[in-house]
């Protein structure tokens, strides 16, 4: 239901599905309240729960700084708990010298991402 009318779907522009979304406007009230988050280029950065747990248990570094829950729209739409199903290795803008403080995470990225690129 949209404005009291049954519609087949609702677009991101809050209009009936199929209506041109180019007329959508930004809401000033939402300014600064959303963050897109990391956009991995390749699947090599993604970890399943077991891999993430293994890294987060390691003691030679604080892996929580670079291994983070990765929540996408599918997780929000399909899981009532809206819990992430995977994690991501995210060094952000750290130079290689800083990333080397997390050797197990860096090794995963080197094996999965570097070979792909």
- Domain residues for 69? 42-114
- Asked if residue 93 is part of any domain, the answer here is yes
The per-residue pLDDT for range 11-50, each reduced to its tens digit, is 877 788 887 777 777 888 888 887 777 678 888 899 998 9
b/e per residue 74-99 (b: at least 16 CB within 10 A): ebeeeeeeeebebbbbbbeeeeeeeb
Cβ within 8 Å of residue 54, ≥6 positions away: none
- Asked if residue 16 is part of any domain, the answer here is no
The per-residue pLDDT for range 56-109, each reduced to its tens digit, is 999 888 999 999 999 888 888 888 888 888 999 999 899 999 999 999 999 999
- Asked if residue 47 is part of any domain, the answer here is yes
- Asked if residue 37 is part of any domain, the answer here is no
- Asked if residue 94 is part of any domain, the answer here is yes
- Asked if residue 31 is part of any domain, the answer here is no
Q: Count of domains in the chain? A: 1
Note the helical H segments in 2-102.
Answer: 49-57, 73-78, 96-99
- Asked if residue 15 is part of any domain, the answer here is no
**Statement: the pTM of the whole predicted model exceeds 0.95:** no
Number of C-beta neighbours around residue 20 at 10 A:
9
């Amino acid at each position: 239901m949209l404005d009291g009318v049954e519609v087949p779907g609702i677009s991101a522009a809050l209009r009936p599905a199929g209506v041109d979304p180019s007329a959508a406007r930004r809401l000033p009230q939402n300014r600064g309240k959303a963050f897109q988050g990391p956009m991995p280029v390749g699947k090599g950065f993604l970890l399943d729960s077991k891999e993430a747990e293994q890294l987060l248990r390691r003691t030679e570094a604080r892996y929580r700084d670079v291994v983070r829950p990765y929540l996408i729209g599918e997780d929000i739409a399909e899981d009532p708990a809206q819990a992430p199903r995977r994690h991501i290795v995210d060094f952000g803008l750290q130079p290689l010298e800083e990333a080397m403080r997390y050797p197990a995470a860096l090794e995963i990225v080197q094996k999965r991402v570097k070979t792909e690129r």
